[in-house]
Structure 1
Amino acid sequence: MKPNPRSARLSRLVVALLAVLLAVLLAGRMPAASACPFCSAVSLTFSQEIAQSQVAVIARLVEPPTSASLSPRSDGPLPKGRFVVVEALKGGDLLEGAELLDVDGVRQIETIMLEVKPAGTTYLLMAVEPPKLVWSSPIPVSERGIDYLKKLADLPAKGADRLAFFQKYLEDADDTLARDAYDEFAVAPYDDVRGLESRMDPTQLLAWIENPKVPANRRRLYATMLGVCGTKADADRIGAILANTEPDPANAEVRSGLDALIACYVTLKGPEGLDMVDTQFLDRKGRNVPFTETYAAVMALRFLGEESTVVPRERVLQSLRILLGEPKLADLVIADLARWEDWSVVDRLGELFEKADADNLFVREPVVNYLKACPDPHAAEVLAKLEKIDPEAVRRAATLAGFAAALAVPKPAEGAPAATESDGDPGDPSSQPGAAASPVTSSPATEVSAAEAALAARIPPVLGDEDATDETVAIDPARVEAGGELKATPMAPAVVKVGSTPAANPWVSTLGRWCGVALLLAAVAVLSRMAMRSSGAA
């Protein structure tokens, strides 16, 4: 039975619509830019958790749950432990009027506890909704941890001086403190990290980077920090790590976090460092370079093009253009070329569009978006020619970009709070639906010229899969088959978020967004049904 061309086209469109829906929903939940461009916070920091609570106390366990209550076969209520307050870190006045247990004249806190610990163990407990108080799960803290928690309230809200405190606890013997210190760096602005340059210890950072027992997410942070404070000699040590491709487990661990290591190396080495990156990770002709390594290099180049002044952007673009010679990987860099206004490859991309086959048809949509963004009249001529070759690809690129723009969640100006469903104090009238929004004044740093905004609005950027994972380079798993080979999949443009936007009612914004999602899902369902009918008819 011959395949039905109409059914195949509908199926591809269904897949593309689902891809853009996922990209838009992920974009709407993207975290703010973090200090470590290659890593993300593992969890909320202690400071964030305490700030979100109304009461925070150091408490001592006086009655742990019974072993029987913790058994998987237990049919009773969830096990609970009882605690007495040792010291209030926040909300002492609320604690005084709270409804606590009274055991022989001693006020006790009772909360769910899912482990057996000896009586006398100290914990951090946090609560909301006084006076009844709903308590969090207890977090065990050592004596050093208690001292650490007491100091948090006196730290600056942001800046290098704040990070200087947490730097002392990186890789601390108390893993709870080490994790929290890492998370503080992961959520701090990158400029704050650069402000810490004179107080960093490059020797210690390099030792952590070369230690295979250090987790990959932390290695990414330490490589980013070394890029701020390191020397040419440090660059040579990092270069040796990059060049060592021996497959033994210890070496593989040291090379995890490859994107940050590449960025660190080039930052310390200068533009000449890109020569090695081009040769080892980007020029794949006649060589079996793992896709994850090439992707890591692209991630590093994006960082260098956006955050670093060490390497001229034209030199970064020169490296990115190497991948245009790889039909299955060219879509990784086309949006970057457009975003940085490299209009030198119009004809080359037109040729890439024409020669695309079943293995890389997904490259056609990014090419169309590039040509639409290009101000050169020649780009419009090339686009008109390509539309005759594959009008569906041109139409699909416009459709997907339109869906993405309609469902985009505006990015607030720097300094303005992000409006989410969970924002706002329920007791604050200004946080309720319909309340007048407070005016937000844009700082000069966040202002975008009309020309820049117009350009950016026409460039759908790369997929929002750039958040690095803890263990490996962040890639789209749908693009790697079981054997590790790259698989051709349609590329859905993600969403551009530019400049500041007027304050909007979060309830209206949320309702509108989910209505859009519902409409898109309905469209996908209809197209899927049409595709199945067409298949059956064939």
Structure 2
Amino acid sequence: MKSNSTFVSLCRLLVAVLAVLLAGRPAAVSACPFCSAVSLTFSQEIAQSQVAVIARLIEPPTQASLSPRADGPLPKGRLAVVEALKGGDLLDGAELLDVDGVRQIETIMIEAKPAGTTYLLMAVEPPKLIWGSPIPVSERGIDYLKKLADLPAKGADRLAFFQKYLEDADDTLARDAYDEFAVAPYDDVRGLESRMDPTQLLAWIENPKVPANRRRLYATMLGICGTKADADRIGAILANTNPDPAKAEVRSGLDALIACYVTLKGPEGLDMVDSQFLSRKDPAVPFTEKYAAVMALRFLGEESTVVTRERVLQSLRILLLEPKLADLVIADLARWEDWSVIDQLAELFEKAGDDNLFVREPVVNYLKACPDRRAAEVLERLGKLDPEAVRRAETLSGLAGIISPPKPAVGTAAGLPAEGGDADPGDPSTAGPTVAAPAPVTGPTAAETELAARIPPVLGDEDATDDAVAIDPSRAVAAVESPAAVVTPAPAAARPVDSPWMSTFGRWCGVAILLATVAVLSRMAMRSSGAA
């Protein structure tokens, strides 16, 4: 039993490391911290292409060629160029058919549409021009596309144009407008406050036919422009646990709804969140709802001026009373420098059983980040109780340090502030003197350790958790804490400059090693299970 539990715990940590490594560059803060763009926007696609045209279908592919059992080349259709949106001069030298002065494009088409249907077509690599898949567009869509080039590159005025197309009858335009909001900076959407319609936003939120990702956007927007009366309507949605599918659908996007409610209601809104989602231990409150509440709290702790971070921490600490969920919030407590729970975390470590051994690694990382000298004493005591947990946390954090992209040198324009500068208030590694480790560990070098020393920032823009299984980033902290306590970085000038190619190659080699490790452990577990 214990070996299986250890295997599960190790796999959870390996998955967390992979999540950190595959995250790539940190994303900019988006307008909707609880949702992400469904696809590239039209503006992004056109910007990435060298030629973009409106074309009309004149010769659809044959029905026989569209059949799943068809042999031969892929089905192709022929379209006539109506208007060039971009790269019109490149069309002159391209290898296009010319019939009676009308330039025609032959391209692969995988669906049957009647002749006369209009499309957006984009291409790269002139003069031959490799065309992408045709995108059907209506007459209104053509007018929409023509206006994109004249919009500001960013800002509230740009979003004001797309706001008119949210939930448009033409779903292609509605999707593109949503994606524009999803990738816009948060400050831009705040600048749109006076031009928002809270009544319309609330109507969309309460409409069960609105997709969950769009509901998250509308809840985020309502949190900017709404009133306390609107908060009461959102509160009614949160309190409604009616199993009716239509009513349940309105609660999808729960993380954004909770954040919207608290933003409009103020600190008293957190009291309801505590009682409704965090304090209740009955099985009727599913994990996804508790996790959605944690996601909302992370957003509030980073972005809200309505509730204090201390009040947010008070809510997060509630989950420490649930041993199986405590690891969701331990990283947040460390990041926001709440060092008041050393004894509580030590008790969690000591009482962890087979069903929640995974909580021990986050506890180790919390104690290593804590500047309180008592944390070092507690860590030394706990290390004697379960040295494997300490070793796992240190080993995996070492792997993350070796594989992760290098951090700019301290004191440089792109790096952290030099001595005497303003340090990141949310980084526990800058909160005070480094705590000595309970025992020396053979592992990564000092330079590698420095790369892994920082806890990654809490992001509020993750995919929702109420209708899909998500990996909690707080569990990735076990993979990014420094395995050595006292680090003396080499002078910046003395460090070798890594080749970008080699950095990428090494990173993916590390990922491959981790995947191979997971595969081996999985095979061992299956053999063990079969033998039993």
Q: Do they superpose with TM above 0.5?
A: yes
Distance 1:353 1:113, change over 3 A: same
Q: Structure 2: any 5+ residue segments left out of the alignment? A: 431-451, 482-495
Distance 1:173 1:533, change over 3 A: closer
Report how far residue 405 of structure 1 moved. Answer: 2.3
Are positions 1:293 and 2:289 aligned together?
Answer: yes
Q: Residue 449 of structure 1 is aligned with which of 402, 410, 423?
A: 423
Please show how residues 455-494 of structure 1 align to structure 2 within 5 Å.
Answer: 455=429, 458=453, 460=455, 467-469=462-464, 472=467, 474-476=469-471, 493=478
User: Following the alignment from structure 1 to structure 2, what is the Cα–Cα distance between the partners of residues 451 and 241?
Assistant: 36
Please show how residues 520-531 of structure 1 align to structure 2 within 5 Å.
Answer: 520-521=514-515
User: Following the alignment from structure 2 to structure 1, what is the Cα–Cα distance between the partners of residues 190 and 101?
Assistant: 54
Report how far residue 268 of structure 1 moved. Answer: 0.3
CA contact (8 A) 1:350 1:382 kept: yes
User: Following the alignment from structure 1 to structure 2, what is the Cα–Cα distance between the partners of residues 11 and 301?
Assistant: 31
CA contact (8 A) 1:197 1:228 kept: yes
Please show how residues 21-170 of structure 1 align to structure 2 within 5 Å.
Answer: 21-28=17-24, 31-103=27-99, 106-170=102-166
Distance 1:504 1:253, change over 3 A: farther
Report how far residue 15 of structure 1 moved. Answer: 2.4
Per the alignment, residue 312 of structure 1 pairs with 308
2:470 aligned partner, one-letter code: I
Per the alignment, residue 509 of structure 2 pairs with 515
User: Following the alignment from structure 1 to structure 2, what is the Cα–Cα distance between the partners of residues 238 and 277?
Assistant: 12
User: Following the alignment from structure 1 to structure 2, what is the Cα–Cα distance between the partners of residues 465 and 200?
Assistant: 22
2:463 aligned partner, one-letter code: A
User: Following the alignment from structure 1 to structure 2, what is the Cα–Cα distance between the partners of residues 458 and 325?
Assistant: 28
Partner of 1:28, secondary structure, is coil
Partner of 2:333, secondary structure, is helix
Per the alignment, residue 230 of structure 1 pairs with 226
Distance 1:495 1:393, change over 3 A: closer
Please show how residues 347-496 of structure 1 align to structure 2 within 5 Å.
Answer: 347-409=343-405, 449=423, 455=429, 458=453, 460=455, 467-469=462-464, 472=467, 474-476=469-471, 493=478, 495=480
User: Following the alignment from structure 1 to structure 2, what is the Cα–Cα distance between the partners of residues 465 and 201?
Assistant: 24
User: Following the alignment from structure 2 to structure 1, what is the Cα–Cα distance between the partners of residues 404 and 57?
Assistant: 48
Per the alignment, residue 320 of structure 2 pairs with 324
Q: Residue 204 of structure 1 is aligned with which of 188, 200, 205?
A: 200
Structure 1 runs of 4+ with >6 Å offset: 439-444, 462-466, 525-538
Report how far residue 409 of structure 1 moved. Answer: 3.6
Deviation track 1:488-507 (CA, whole Å, cap 9, x = no partner) reads xx9773558xxxxx997542
Per the alignment, residue 186 of structure 1 pairs with 182
User: Following the alignment from structure 1 to structure 2, what is the Cα–Cα distance between the partners of residues 29 and 356?
Assistant: 35
Q: Which moved more, 1:280-289 or 1:39-48?
A: 280-289
Deviation track 1:108-141 (CA, whole Å, cap 9, x = no partner) reads 1011111111111111000000000000110011
Distance 1:516 1:264, change over 3 A: same
TM superposition score normalised by structure 1: 0.83
2:161 aligned partner, one-letter code: F
Identity in percent:
79
Per the alignment, residue 430 of structure 1 pairs with none
Report how far residue 286 of structure 1 moved. Answer: 4.6
Partner of 2:478, secondary structure, is coil
CA contact (8 A) 1:373 1:459 kept: no
CA contact (8 A) 2:298 2:459 kept: no
Report how far residue 355 of structure 1 moved. Answer: 0.5
Distance 1:512 1:47, change over 3 A: same
User: Following the alignment from structure 1 to structure 2, what is the Cα–Cα distance between the partners of residues 190 and 463?
Assistant: 16
Q: Structure 1: any 5+ residue segments left out of the alignment? A: 414-438, 478-489, 497-501
Per the alignment, residue 493 of structure 2 pairs with none
The number of residues matched between the two structures is 490
Are positions 1:270 and 2:270 aligned together?
Answer: no
Deviation track 1:301-327 (CA, whole Å, cap 9, x = no partner) reads 000000111100000000000000000
Q: Which moved more, 1:61-70 or 1:515-524?
A: 515-524
TM superposition score normalised by structure 2: 0.84
1:320 aligned partner, one-letter code: L
Report how far residue 475 of structure 1 moved. Answer: 2.9
Report how far residue 292 of structure 1 moved. Answer: 1.0
CA contact (8 A) 2:53 2:82 kept: yes
Distance 1:272 1:410, change over 3 A: farther
